[in-house]
Amino acid sequence: MTVTIERAGDVAIVTIDNPPVNALSQALRQDLWNAAETLDADPSVRAVVLICEGRTFIAGADVNEFGKPPTPPHLPDLVARIETAAKPWVAAIHGSALGGGFEVALGCRFRVAVPSASVGLPEVRLGIVPGAGGTVRLPRLVGPALAAEMVTTGTPVAAPRARSQGLIDAVVEGDLEKGAIDFARAALDQSLPLPLRQRGVPAVDAAFWETSTTAVAGRAKREDAPLRALACVRTAAEADFEAAMAFERQTFLELRGSSQASALRHVFFAERAALRPPELGGVEPRRIRSAAVIGGGTMGAGIAAALCDARLPVTLVERDEVALERGLSNLRSIIDGLVKRGKISSEAAAERLSAVTGTTHYGLLAGVDLVIEAVFEDIDVKRDVFSRLSAVCRADAVLATNTSYLDPEEIAAGIKHPERFVGLHFFSPAHVMKLLEIVPTAQTTPATLATGFALARMLNKIPVRAGICDGFIGNRILKITRAQAERLLLAGATPQAVDAAMRAFGLPMGPFEAQDLGGLDIAAFQRRAARARGETPFAPIAERLCALERLGQKSGGGWYDYAKGDRTPQPSEIVAGIIAEEGSARPQRQWDEAGIIDCIVLPMVNEAAKILQDKVALRAADIDLVEIHGYGFPRWRGGLMHYAEERGLTEIAVRLNELAADGLAEPPCNQFERWVE
């Protein structure tokens, strides 16, 4: 049984216990239905409190059931059953009331919540719209404007704000069950509000829908669900209750089977699975109560800001006072930026900064639990840092390098207790980007590795284990992206056409725009290191741009020209000239959008297949997370490997062979088509 009924005098308490998150499985829907029947038939019950065991109120429909045909009782019917019950129900919310969970709460006559709770309709994040009356009842409760904002963004609202916006009726301080029972009794003494189905939708002016459609379309880019959710709210405002319910249900069922919804569900489960890699099951991580960062440049300051965000006391270490002051100022400006953008209050900022200590003395690190090195990418500098750290830090302190392309084995060579060493590769800006590549050496123990994953959870990041190779997972694929983009230029495409095609595919920026933003010098530096290792990196045009000091936006020009103070990329005659020279001996052709996308994305898939073959990534879904959270691959495509599987691996292999025949890509690797279990 997922539901129990108890009594507190004339108030019945219906308690749901369906771990882990009280999702509305068929069994729970049936048990709740039965509870409503039982309580309606009991004349001694005057009101019902609906409350949940465990970490949260109902977190929504059971996403595991979405691939299967719907089974009764259907959620819209259950919500209607509760709404039309003979006695008023009061939803008592802790944790999150999300999706179907909030829809059940909207079926209740009242909603009360603890201050830490939140409510919302996040269905668009799963590529669907609410399917149990959320878009129909919410505008009746709070008006179309707030309803439209909530269903099109999916952003939950915290209890205090939810109370002021009318989403809930009371915030309960102290014991939730007692507070809800008291609330129910007090409500029974007054005239009850109408159930939402019987209320009208407050009017909005005629321009509202047009303005909202433009705004939502702009935000959603190529995702279908947000605009469809807006259409549901509009129907709720313009049609009667039953017609709006039918429209919403139809939309929900259509989207539930869409490829975007399937991709977004894949990402939903992949993100959760990433936090608990099965190979580390049962391994206890070390406790992290304090941290230090070595180096206060862009990366180091960003990492320190992320640690501050997790409320860890942070020591920032620099080589001298001047560098330290610059590092602390970098950190302050990140935290000030959070205040300016309204992400945190100035009190919270002050609290974070007060937990930061700046020093030039490694001796201060004797007691810290975790040290993350983020100094210049130079093997000798890094090795010097770790030899000093291993002399002063506790034997069980975790020592991590943020290197993005040096070999962690070489960095760790010779340190004391190498078993506590691990690579933690953050992505810039480190306080924003969700991806954390965790790179163990041969000597890293499971406990150290597990600590990396636990840290990711503390920092609200998505961890992915990566093996050691040049670029780990993400930058190894990025190298292919960039090389393919240059191959396209040599074969007749323009930087503008390549960037536009990749944006149309769903990336926030094309490969050339992205290089201009980040600077061409970092990749040039990496190519020099690769050549020193005897490799032959392919970047003929980028090399010439670097030789001309065209390093991107920061130098006033890179792949594009930029007018002073303007970041709009303008086609560059110099670049066109270099492309023409470099490509003059090669066959030229006309490129359409689909051709450009295939020439870039399919070799990325091939490289990813090699990465799996080499065991640099353990799971295809991990590569999806790397691409989504580190490189802006469209979430609604499910990541690189999910995209490939949906598209069909056989077709991709054929296309790769065609590109290879034209000298534009490598043929599919040995393991191609074999990653799908």
Q: Is 471 in the site for ligand 3H9 (CB under 6 A)?
A: no
Q: Among residues 31, 35, 50, 99, which is the contact residue for ligand 3H9, using CB under 6 A?
A: 99
Q: How many beta carbons lie within 10 A of that of residue 429, not counting itself?
A: 16
- Among positions 121-160, residues that touch ligand 3H9 (CB under 6 A) are 122-123, 126, 130-132, 134
Distances from the Cα of 368 to the Cα of 325, 383, 393, 422, 458, angstroms: 21, 19, 7, 16, 16
> What is the spatial distance between Cα 119 and Cα 138, in angstroms, rounded to a whole number?
12
The residue range among 7-15, 20-28, 83-91, 234-242 that interacts with ligand 3H9, by the rule CB under 6 A, is 20-28
Whole-number minimum distance, CB 266 to ligand 3H9, in Å? 12
Q: Which residue has the tokens 């509760």?
A: 82
For ligand 3H9, the closer CB: 187 or 459: 459
Supply the DSSP symbol for 179.
H
Q: Among residues 11, 16, 23, 32, which is the contact residue for ligand 3H9, using CB under 6 A?
A: 23
Q: Is 31 in the site for ligand 3H9 (CB under 6 A)?
A: no
Q: Reply yes or no on whether 254 is catalytic.
A: no
Spatial strand order of the sheet with 314-317 comes to 356-359, 314-317, 291-294, 370-373, 398-401, 421-426, 435-440, 462-465
Whole-number minimum distance, CB 197 to ligand 3H9, in Å? 17
String of contacts with ligand 3H9 for each residue 56-95, x by CB under 6 A: x--xxxxxx----------x--------------------
For ligand 3H9, the closer CB: 55 or 287: 55
Task: Evaluate whether 638 touches 482 at the Cβ level (below 8 Å).
Answer: no
Catalytically annotated residue among 123, 373, 486, 543: 123
The residue range among 96-104, 160-168, 608-616, 619-627 that interacts with ligand 3H9, by the rule CB under 6 A, is 96-104
> What is the spatial distance between Cα 300 and Cα 128, in angstroms, rounded to a whole number?
39
For ligand 3H9, the closer CB: 131 or 327: 131
- Among positions 561-590, residues that touch ligand 3H9 (CB under 6 A) are none
Task: Evaluate whether 302 touches 316 at the Cβ level (below 8 Å).
Answer: no
Query: Minimal CA–CA distance to 665: which of 516, 486, 540, 441?
Result: 486
Q: Is 20 in the site for ligand 3H9 (CB under 6 A)?
A: yes
For ligand 3H9, the closer CB: 23 or 356: 23
> What is the spatial distance between Cα 129 and Cα 144, in angstroms, rounded to a whole number?
15
Distances from the Cα of 527 to the Cα of 383, 495, 535, angstroms: 21, 21, 9
For ligand 3H9, the closer CB: 220 or 225: 225
Count Cβ neighbours within 10 Å for each residue of 475-510 and write b for 16 or more, e otherwise. Answer: bbbbbbbbbbbbbbbbbebbbbbbbebbeebbbebb
Whole-number minimum distance, CB 124 to ligand 3H9, in Å? 10
Catalytically annotated residue among 83, 103, 248, 437: 103
For ligand 3H9, the closer CB: 122 or 495: 122
Query: Minimal CA–CA distance to 445: which of 403, 395, 503, 519?
Result: 395
Whole-number minimum distance, CB 133 to ligand 3H9, in Å? 9
Q: Among residues 18, 96, 315, 481, which is the contact residue for ligand 3H9, using CB under 6 A?
A: 96
Whole-number minimum distance, CB 123 to ligand 3H9, in Å? 5
Q: How many beta carbons lie within 10 A of that of residue 468, not counting itself?
A: 15
For ligand 3H9, the closer CB: 132 or 454: 132
> What is the spatial distance between Cα 572 and Cα 415, in angstroms, rounded to a whole number?
49
Task: Evaluate whether 486 touches 665 at the Cβ level (below 8 Å).
Answer: no
* H/E element, 93: strand 89-93
Whole-number minimum distance, CB 24 to ligand 3H9, in Å? 7
> What is the spatial distance between Cα 374 and Cα 298, in angstroms, rounded to a whole number?
9
For ligand 3H9, the closer CB: 103 or 223: 103
The residue range among 16-24, 279-287, 594-602, 605-613 that interacts with ligand 3H9, by the rule CB under 6 A, is 16-24
> What is the spatial distance between Cα 480 and Cα 609, in angstroms, rounded to a whole number?
13
Q: Reply yes or no on whether 103 is catalytic.
A: yes
Distances from the Cα of 278 to the Cα of 282, 283, 492, 524, angstroms: 9, 10, 47, 38
Cβ neighbours for 536, distance < 8 A, ≥ 6 positions apart: none
With CB under 6 A, what is the number of residues at the site for ligand 3H9? Answer: 26
The residue range among 54-62, 355-363, 427-435, 570-578 that interacts with ligand 3H9, by the rule CB under 6 A, is 54-62
For ligand 3H9, the closer CB: 63 or 435: 63
String of contacts with ligand 3H9 for each residue 268-307, x by CB under 6 A: -x--x-----------------------------------
Supply the DSSP symbol for 59.
-
Whole-number minimum distance, CB 274 to ligand 3H9, in Å? 10
Query: Minimal CA–CA distance to 612: which of 675, 676, 677?
Result: 675
Q: Among residues 12, 29, 94, 100, which is the contact residue for ligand 3H9, using CB under 6 A?
A: 100
Q: Is 290 helix (H, G, I), strand (E, B) or coil?
A: coil
- Tell me which residues touch ligand 3H9 (CB under 6 A): 20-21, 23, 55-56, 59-64, 75, 96, 98-100, 103, 122-123, 126, 130-132, 134, 269, 272
- Would you name the residues annotated as active-site residues? 103, 123
